[in-house]
Amino acid sequence: MTSRKSAIVLGGSSDIGRATARAFAKAGYDVVLAGRDIAALEPDAADLRARYNVEVGLRKFDVLDTASFEGFVGGLPALPDAVISIVGLLGVQQNAESDLAHATTIMRSNYEGPSLILGLFAEKFLARGHGALVGVSSVAGDRGRASNYVYGSAKAGFSAFLSGLRARASRGGVHVVTVKPGFVRTKMTEGMKLIGPLTVEAPVVGDAILQAVEKKTDVVYVSGKWRLVMLVIKTLPEAMFKKLKF
């Protein structure tokens, strides 16, 4: 890495991961793209180098392989200025209701793995005295809904972890951001019925993440409309909430 700021994007091959890497590279950050398939990341790395004249590294990272986390962090040539976790798995709620393996994968992909890796980086950043950690959570974690409570519960846990980590890390000069994108038009949401006014494109999320790091924002609802929507949903009486079909 050079003297420029640097960022690691965990889940770099996702649509939001690519958009985030581009936002940071455009802002002059050197970038490390991390994911399970390094070969799939190579075209993106080449594009970022050519387009923005920054250094781009590639690292293998599997959010389910928690035993590899210490080696992943220890194997980096230098600690980055920012780590952005975009990894996650929506899964299929109906399958998760009876398939324990599927439910476990959803929970581990959205809560256990992202929390543990950011927690590990937090210790390194606190020892150094600065850094930014970003976790992409979800509005689905604001209140459990019948249609996606396995995924939503994992994101709720992740949001709670980030909240506690933020309170602790802020005393040591480390900034922790929770990002709640809402509906995003990506491969993961392909085929879903998205609500136009509440849906954003992946580059909007990438730009919001960069801005949150630069401005040290704590919690970001990428579309401000979601903050109001979830405020209403969270205040509905339980008797009324149980009758809603969503």
Give residue 234's pLDDT.
Answer: 81
Euclidean distance between CA atoms 226 and 214, whole angstroms: 22
> For 127-165, how does the pLDDT look when each residue is reduced to its tens digit (9 = 90+)?
999 999 999 999 888 888 888 999 999 999 999 999 999
Give residue 1's pLDDT.
Answer: 46
Strand positions, DSSP E, 11-158: 30-35, 56-60, 82-85, 131-136
Which of 29, 52, 111, 151 is the catalytic position? 151
CB 66 within 8 A of CB 116: yes
For tokens 């980096």, name the residue: 76
Euclidean distance between CA atoms 50 and 44, whole angstroms: 10
Give residue 195's pLDDT.
Answer: 57
Classified as helix, coil or strand, 102 is: helix
| pTM attached to this predicted model | 0.90
CB 206 within 8 A of CB 23: yes
Sign of CA dihedral 89, 234, 132, 162: negative
Active site annotation includes 52: no
Give residue 231's pLDDT.
Answer: 75
Vertex 58 angle, CA 57 and 60, to 5°:
150
Spans in the chain with pLDDT lower than 70: 1-2, 183-198, 200, 226-227
Q: What is the DSSP string of 192-218?
A: S---GGGEEEHHHHHHHHHHHHHHT-S
DSSP H helical ranges for 27-111: 38-52, 69-74, 93-96, 100-107
